[in-house]
Amino acid sequence: MVKIATWNVNSVRARAAHLQQWLGEFRPDIVLLQELKCLEEQFPRTEIEDLGYNVAILGQKTYNGVAVLSKSPIDVEQRGLPGMEDDTHARYLEVFTAGLRVASIYAPNGNPVESEKFPYKLAFLERLYEHAQGLLETEDAFVLAGDYNIIPEPIDAMNPAAWTGDALYRPESRAMYRKMLYLGLTDAIRAQHPEHGVFTFWDYQSGSWQRDNGIRIDHLLLSPQAADRLVNSGVDRTPRGWEKASDHTPAWCELAD
């Protein structure tokens, strides 16, 4: 069994103790991290390696940043999303590990919609779609996971009406997510949990966590070869309740060997 998790840690240096505690308790085999907000040399590599993980990092000062942690050796395949070589944002890291191709993805937020940030978000998602098409042709088992900054359906928000007009819930964003699924990818969380109330993000404002006013924007998309091995999936809400927590919490899936 291979347990894969994705977590937007919202500053790995601020959340280093949380990350170490969670790795020790949850014991995932592969972890995809987003929003590191640090350069590679600032990442707490030694502490993570001491827990038995290999580390691959694509860092950026102050913003963005993605990483892959794995108990197996890591071969880095892509440091950045193919087709966006001029993009200076650290948003995509693809590796081969534990017999799987996995990518840690931090898609653009896209707000405010009236600014250039929304077209940038859609362009990133279009490139991701095109890259996924190419990956499917390899027939590799792969997992494209991370913070997609997309609320796919009304079921994925406690109060969907509150997100009307937001880049996370705009029809264009949701259409891009559906395009990924129409390729034949499987939403690992939704496949196992069709019910309302499965959230991965709770804003720091207005007591959202206490009122469970959450949304699901962190996703694990599986190729058919990976989906055939899907045994279980879920969201670990525990870290969101810790003091000075990230506003995201880990989502995960388990694949049979």
In the numeric block, which tokens belong to residue 178?
């559906």
The values of phi and psi at residue 145, to 5°, are: -130, 155
DSSP symbol at 162: G
Query: CA 92 → CA 46, 200, 243, distances in Å?
Result: 23, 20, 29
- Name the pLDDT band for 206 (thresholds 50, 70, 90): confident
pLDDT attached to residue 85: 87
CA 212 to chain centre: 20
If you average pLDDT over residues 60-74, what whole number do you get? 97
pLDDT digits (tens, 9 = 90+) for 106-115: 999 999 999 9
How high does pLDDT run on average in the chain?
Answer: 97
pLDDT digits (tens, 9 = 90+) for 28-45: 999 999 999 999 999 999
Q: Is the pLDDT of residue 170 over 90?
A: yes
If you average pLDDT over residues 239-254, what whole number do you get? 98
Instruction: Pick the catalytic residue from 29, 53, 92, 147.
Output: 147
Q: Are 29 and 72 in contact (CB under 8 A)?
A: yes
If you average pLDDT over residues 55-75, what whole number do you get? 97
pTM higher than 0.85? yes
Q: Return the domain boundaries, the chain.
A: 2-255
Handedness of CA 97, 139, 32, 90 (dihedral sign): positive
Amino acid of residue 34: Q
In the numeric block, which tokens belong to residue 129?
């779609």
Pure H helices in the chain: 16-26, 45-49, 117-138, 171-182, 188-192, 224-227
Provide, rounded to the nearest whole percent, the portion of the chain with pLDDT above 70. 100
- Name the pLDDT band for 151 (thresholds 50, 70, 90): very high
Please tell me the CATH code under which domain 2-255 is placed: 3.60.10.10
Q: Is the bond preceding 171 in cis, omega lying within 30 degrees of 0?
A: no
Instruction: Pick the catalytic residue from 92, 106, 148, 177.
Output: 106
If you average pLDDT over residues 214-243, what whole number do you get? 98
Note if 187 is an active site residue: no
pLDDT attached to residue 144: 98
CA–CA dist 14, 197 (Å, integer): 28
DSSP symbol at 93: E
N-term to C-term CA, the chain: 5
What count of Cα atoms within 13 Å lies in the side-chain half-sphere of residue 12? Answer: 31
CA–CA dist 253, 230 (Å, integer): 7
